[in-house]
Structure formats: structure tokens, C-alpha cells
Amino acid sequence: MEQATLGAGCFWCVEAIFSQIKGVQSVEAGYAGGKVRHPTYREVCSGLTGHAEVIRIHFDPRVVSYDDMLRVFFGTHDPTTLNRQGADVGTQYRSVIFYHDERQKRIAEAVKQEIEKKGIYDDPIVTAIEPLTNYYPAEKYHQDYFANNPDQPYCRAVINPKLRKFREKFRHLLKD
């Protein structure tokens, strides 16, 4: 198994997407990249801890490659907006790839460059690529949020449209 730690705005949205990819064994919402040990959601939301809302993905690289995971990452959020995704604003919602080793760093840089060269986005990609120095799981009520709250207004208005877009664009990576 391999791990990936990614921040692409609200972790509820990102978790819902990546949990549907074949080869993904688990997805956990959490916090990474900040200076406070074991931060709470309220602390992270303040924007003062330096953490990003992230997901930690455990996946089988024989089924889905890290490269493809990053293509989904770049294809399911706006990597050109600094510290914002939609209505979510602040450093905690930044676009960031936290690499676990030098191989992941090289792949992240290559995939980012590939996406830039394709000219998919009008604006420059601002996604940070940083070493993973810390990670803390989010509180229990954040785990599997979409699966446990599909009728919540945020899920219907924000997550459902993102899931539809993901399923259309990355049909070949969906779990059966």
C-alpha cells in the first residue's frame, strides 16, 4: 500500500471523490502542514495554525498509480486560486500536495508540469508541493462526512456536482 496526502479545499469534498477510486482502500480527513500539535477543527478554521484541510489516502499502486491520483486531484478542484476553493477562503483551503518521499515529489512536479503544459487552466497553477512534516486525523464527525450526510444542504449543493463532474471525467478509475 502507498499513501498520498492532498489538500484541495474542503476535505469533505475531496474525501467523497477519492473514496470512489478503484484501488483506494481508505480515505481519512485530517490536517497537515501547520505548527500546532493535534489541532482542532475550530483552530484550523481560524487560519492561525498554518494547517491545510487534507485527506490521507491509502491505495494500492498496482491498481491505481500515484500519477493518476494526482491527475484526479488537479482535475477536481481549481488549482489556480490561492488559498480558496469556491466560497471556502483561507490558507486552510489551499491547494497542496504533501509528498511522503522524493519519488512522490518528482511525480508531483512532473504531473503539475504536465497539467500546466496542457493549458487546461487560463491562470497559473498555484498548488504547493511540500514535504509532509506532520499529519493529524480530523475529528470523528468529519470522517466519511458525505457518506453519512448525503442530504445535508452542503453535500447536495457542493459535493454532488463535484462528484458528477468527477464520475464523467474519470469514469475509467471508478470502483465497480
Q: What amino acid positions are annotated as catalytic residues?
A: 10
Question: Which of 155, 116, 124 minimizes the C-alpha distance to 17?
Answer: 155
Secondary structure of 49-114 in HEC code, one letter for each residue: CCCEEEEEEEECCCCCCHHHHHHHHHHCCCCCCCCEECCEECHHHCEEEEECCHHHHHHHHHHHHH
Q: What is the largest CA-CA distance in the chain?
A: 41
CA dihedral sign of residues 9, 14, 15, 18: negative
| Strands 128-131 and 2-8, sheet pairing | unpaired
